[in-house]
């Protein structure tokens, strides 16, 4: 039972070590987590090895018990073979004793009867007296045979009893020796078992001591600086976006020429907002987000997301989307290629104006639909 319990406990520890948390940690804390998982797994394998050692000890005990069982069985068979003749001889002796005692009583009664008749009768009953004396003589002869048979049965019983008693005494000595060996073996096995458990405790403490040593080196400032170096986007926040009139910008983002301004004044009914200019960030999706009247921001997708519902939007890692609404439940409304839908906000990262222009220019080729 202990071996099975140790094996199950060891396998559970190995499973826990492989499924333990801490994958998202960084720096010295991550190293401590990894060391803890490694030591837990090591402890699990030590318990599995302990269960195997206990099983080996159990097998030794079983082999010892089997040896003693076979030896005891042989002695019991020898005693049983001597027991049956002894019981049979005892039965014969008791029967011969009863018959002997019965004939002795009959002979004594016949002798008393002859004595009475001899005193009472003189000459009239001589013939019957002779007959009674003859019967009494035969009774004594038969009595002598019964006595001899009874004595012979007693002698045989004593011989059989002596053999049985000698064998039984030897068997008892062997049984006593077996019990002494059993006690000694069990004491040694229990001693070794306690040593194994004590060694396991020491090994477990050594494993956890290694984790404690590594935890002493865990530094909060170092881990915070490591997180900042991994996740930082720039050294300073981006500059605020200033308002620029569309009529003051040319296709390259610079200030329009006087002729272009004049053309927009002469033809006010012609709107260029519906047509993406060359070098612009997006085509149809740009105007759709602007016409919605809300504040829009550019975000880059960090992880692939596949829509599960009709109101969700599928996006791929590296794509740039326009966010028009940020929900408090973590789902944001995004525009991409003229299609809107909900995406998880944790899958996105905000783009700075410089990186936004670079990403959109690389993602979409320049074109002019007026041409």
Output the domain CATH number for residue 111.
Answer: 1.20.1270.60
Nearest to 211 by CA among 39, 27, 13: 39
Token pair belonging to 307: 């829509």
Domain identity same for 195 and 335:
no
Domain identity same for 83 and 195:
yes
User: Residue written as tokens 């170096």?
Assistant: 229
Domain identity same for 6 and 111:
yes
Domain identity same for 73 and 160:
yes
Neighbour tally for 129: CB within 10 Å: 14
pLDDT of amino acid 10: 87
Domain identity same for 40 and 123:
yes
- The residue count for the chain: 371
Domain identity same for 117 and 197:
yes
How many angstroms separate the most distant Cα atoms in the chain? 193
Q: What is the pLDDT of residues 154-208, one digit of tens each?
A: 888 888 888 888 888 888 998 899 899 889 988 888 888 888 888 888 888 888 8
- Phi, psi (deg, nearest 5) at residue 360: -70, -35
Neighbour tally for 303: CB within 10 Å: 11
Fill in the DSSP letter of residue 283.
Answer: S
Token pair belonging to 266: 């002469």
Could you tell me which residues are beta bridge partners of residue 333?
325, 342
Position 242 in a domain: no
Position 320 in a domain: yes
pLDDT of amino acid 303: 92
Fill in the DSSP letter of residue 292.
Answer: T
Which domain covers residue 326, as residue numbers? 281-366
Burial class from Cβ neighbours inside 10 Å (0-12, 13-18, 19+) for residue 33 reads buried
| Rounded-to-integer distance, Cα 251 and Cα 257, Å | 11
Token pair belonging to 171: 């068997």
Position 227 in a domain: no
pLDDT of amino acid 369: 36
Domain identity same for 9 and 77:
yes
Centroid of chain to Cα 290: 60
Position 353 in a domain: yes
Fill in the DSSP letter of residue 252.
Answer: T
CATH label of the domain that carries residue 294: 2.30.30.40
Domain identity same for 78 and 171:
yes
Position 60 in a domain: yes
HSE of 330, CA atoms in CB hemisphere, 13 A: 3
Centroid of chain to Cα 265: 82
Low-confidence ranges of the chain (pLDDT < 70): 110-111, 113-140, 142-143, 234, 245-295, 353-371
| Rounded-to-integer distance, Cα 314 and Cα 304, Å | 8
Domain identity same for 215 and 339:
no
pLDDT of amino acid 239: 75
Residue after which a domain boundary falls, among 177, 196, 221: 221
Domain identity same for 179 and 327:
no
| Rounded-to-integer distance, Cα 109 and Cα 119, Å | 16
pLDDT of amino acid 344: 92
Domain identity same for 197 and 305:
no
Neighbour tally for 81: CB within 10 Å: 11
What pTM does this model have? 0.41
In this structure, are residues 129 and 117 in contact, taking their beta carbons and an 8 Å threshold? yes
Residue after which a domain boundary falls, among 221, 255, 270: 221
Please state the domain count of the chain: 2
User: Residue written as tokens 């068979």?
Assistant: 77
pLDDT of amino acid 192: 85
3-state SS, residue 300: strand
Nearest to 187 by CA among 7, 46, 64, 67: 64
In this structure, are residues 321 and 335 in contact, taking their beta carbons and an 8 Å threshold? yes
- Phi, psi (deg, nearest 5) at residue 310: -70, -30
Fill in the DSSP letter of residue 247.
Answer: G
Residue after which a domain boundary falls, among 191, 221, 251: 221
HSE of 253, CA atoms in CB hemisphere, 13 A: 4
Position 275 in a domain: no
| Rounded-to-integer distance, Cα 60 and Cα 69, Å | 14
pLDDT of amino acid 314: 93
Burial class from Cβ neighbours inside 10 Å (0-12, 13-18, 19+) for residue 31 reads middle
Position 241 in a domain: no
pLDDT of amino acid 30: 82
Position 97 in a domain: yes
Residues 6+ apart with CB under 8 A from 348: 299, 300, 301, 302, 321, 323, 332, 334
Domain identity same for 203 and 314:
no
């Amino acid at each position: 039972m202990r071996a099975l319990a140790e094996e199950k406990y060891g396998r559970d520890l190995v499973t826990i070590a492989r499924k333990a948390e801490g994958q998202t940690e960084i720096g010295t804390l991550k190293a401590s987590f990894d060391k803890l998982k490694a030591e837990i797994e090591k402890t699990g394998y030590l318990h599995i090895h302990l269960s195997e050692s206990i099983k080996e000890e159990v097998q030794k005990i079983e082999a010892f018990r089997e040896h003693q069982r076979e030896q005891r069985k042989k002695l019991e068979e020898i005693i049983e073979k001597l027991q049956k003749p002894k019981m049979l001889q005892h039965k014969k002796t008791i029967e011969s004793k009863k018959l002997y005692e019965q004939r002795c009583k009959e002979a004594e009664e016949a002798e008393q009867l002859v004595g009475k008749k001899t005193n009472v009768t003189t000459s009239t009953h001589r013939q019957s007296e002779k007959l009674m004396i003859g019967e009494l003589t035969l009774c004594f002869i038969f009595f002598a045979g019964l006595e001899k048979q009874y004595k012979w049965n007693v002698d045989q019983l004593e011989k059989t009893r002596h053999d049985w008693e000698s064998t039984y005494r030897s068997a008892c000595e062997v049984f006593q020796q077996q019990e002494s060996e059993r006690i000694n073996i069990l004491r040694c096995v229990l001693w070794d078992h306690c040593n194994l458990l004590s060694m396991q405790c020491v090994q477990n403490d050594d494993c956890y001591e290694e984790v404690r040593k590594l935890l002493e080196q865990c530094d909060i400032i170092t881990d915070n600086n490591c997180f900042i170096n991994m996740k930082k986007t720039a050294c300073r926040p981006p500059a605020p976006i200033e308002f620029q009139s569309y009529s003051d910008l040319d296709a390259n983002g610079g200030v329009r020429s006087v002729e272009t301004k004049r053309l927009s004044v002469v033809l006010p009914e012609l709107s260029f907002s519906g047509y993406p200019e060359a070098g612009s960030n997006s085509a149809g999706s740009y105007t759709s987000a602007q016409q919605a009247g809300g504040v829009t921001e550019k975000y880059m997708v960090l992880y692939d997301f596949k829509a599960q519902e009709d109101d969700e939007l599928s996006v791929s890692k590296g794509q740039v989307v326009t966010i028009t609404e940020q929900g408090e439940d973590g789902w944001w409304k995004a525009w991409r290629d003229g299609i809107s839908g909900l995406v998880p906000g944790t899958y996105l990262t905000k783009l700075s104006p410089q990186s936004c222009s670079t990403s959109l220019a690389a993602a979409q080729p320049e074109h002019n639909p007026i041409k």
